[in-house]
Amino acid sequence: MKRATFFILIIVLLLSSCERHDLNKFNTLGLLAASVPAVYVAGDYTLGGNTAACAWINGARIDLTDPAVITIAQASGISISGYNYHVGGIYNNGVDFIPCIWTNGVKQELLYTNNTSILGVNSYGPFITGGGYWTDGAGDEIACYWLNGTRFDIVGGGGVSANVTSVKTCGNGIYMSLTYMGTLCYYHNGVLVSYPITNSYAEDIFVDGKDVYLSGYRISGPNQLPCYWKNGKLVDLPIPAGSGLITEAASIWVDTGNVYACGYYDLAGVSYACIWINGTRIDISDGINWAVAYAIKVKNGNVFVCGQRLYGGIGRAYVWMNGQIQYLDIPAGATGSVARALDVGYY
């Protein structure tokens, strides 16, 4: 698209002084590419005890809420469609959490009932889909999604809670991963697809042709183990011996037959951010400062990850690309930030 060269230059300049992690190991996999797209990130930061929703485009911060006016806000999903970007999130109006989608920074409030949350957003052509949940009078969470502003309930209630954790749209419809009664499931075009697999929780979904990938974790005894499922078939992801109390594969992507996942694991009291490429684990943090990875995407052979890492004494939002870390801008005085989702494209 237009102005791609301009933003490629910005990315290269920003990352030229960034911290490197395992770049040589990553290069040996033969998956790097020369082109560098523009990176869009959704998240939030804390300032004066209040939390502000924001987006970053190539590291430049765009505030979606004002922490001096709104005390609690969060951005948890982002998607690019043509020249537009859409951010899904919530803010608190003093009474309830209100679900919103910001398009190019302009807020649209969505239909809500009691406390509501958006956990993912995706766009395809003219369709903008946000997925999450709302809370009924009994305190149960109802999994739902909004399509161009209209809410559709999926499942939940009657003593059972459910959440939409991720949304993907493509030529054959809308796909959503759900957490529901510990059963592995996803939702597609009005049908809830469940596998006879329990103690399993899907945090993300990816569709590659006829194959459906779900990433997340499964419970085995006292351990929470990172894994993904391809069409319901379990693939455990390796973590070091002695870890496994708090781990997950938070996000998954498939590109030219290669399966990428990102997440984190605990070891000796430290949280490590990592990626897995075709089952091979690569740590993207140093093991000294705790870190987590929440989202992964592959574009033109470049691998992008975002999350949060301890840096300068506070948790900082970051983007990792092909072995380099870029910490994202926060205002002076901010006491923390987190990057929860990303998308990649060109202007």
Buried b (16+ CB within 10 A) or exposed e, 22-51: beeebeeeebeeeebbbbbbbbbbbbeebb
Q: Which residues pair with 228 in a beta bridge?
A: 215, 235
Specify the pLDDT at position 345.
Answer: 86
CB 189 within 8 A of CB 212: no
Specify the pLDDT at position 18.
Answer: 33
Distances (CA, A) of 97 to 72, 115, 183: 9, 5, 27
Q: What is the pLDDT of residues 231-266, one digit of tens each?
A: 999 999 999 999 988 899 999 999 999 999 999 999
**Looking at domain 4-345, does it have CATH number 2.130.10.10?**
no
pTM of this structure: 0.88
CB 302 within 8 A of CB 37: yes
Residue bearing tokens 């030219």:
256
Domain boundaries, the chain: 4-345
CB 177 within 8 A of CB 170: no
Q: What is the pLDDT of residues 305-345, one digit of tens each?
A: 999 999 999 999 999 999 999 999 999 999 999 999 999 98
Specify the pLDDT at position 3.
Answer: 31
CB 248 within 8 A of CB 218: no
Percent residues over pLDDT 70 in the chain: 89
Distance CA 266, CA 218 (A): 15
Distance CA 273, CA 52 (A): 24
3 state SS of 81? strand
Which residues, at least 6 apart from 96, have a Cβ–Cβ distance to it below 8 Å?
112, 114, 115, 116
Residue-wise pLDDT tens for the chain (347 aa)? 333 322 222 222 222 223 333 333 333 344 444 455 799 999 999 999 999 999 999 999 999 999 999 999 999 999 998 889 999 999 999 888 999 999 999 999 998 877 778 888 888 777 788 999 999 989 999 999 999 999 999 999 999 999 999 999 877 889 999 999 999 999 999 999 999 999 999 999 999 999 999 999 999 999 999 999 999 999 999 999 999 888 999 999 999 999 999 999 999 999 999 999 999 999 999 999 999 999 999 998 899 999 999 999 999 999 999 999 999 999 999 999 999 999 998 54
Which residues, at least 6 apart from 332, have a Cβ–Cβ distance to it below 8 Å?
none
Specify the pLDDT at position 10.
Answer: 22
Distance CA 195, CA 5 (A): 45
Question: DSSP for 111-163?
Answer: ---SSEEEEEEEEETTEEEEEEEEE-TTS-EEEEEEETTEEEEEE-BTTB-EE
Tokens in use for 336? 């923390």
Specify the pLDDT at position 35.
Answer: 53
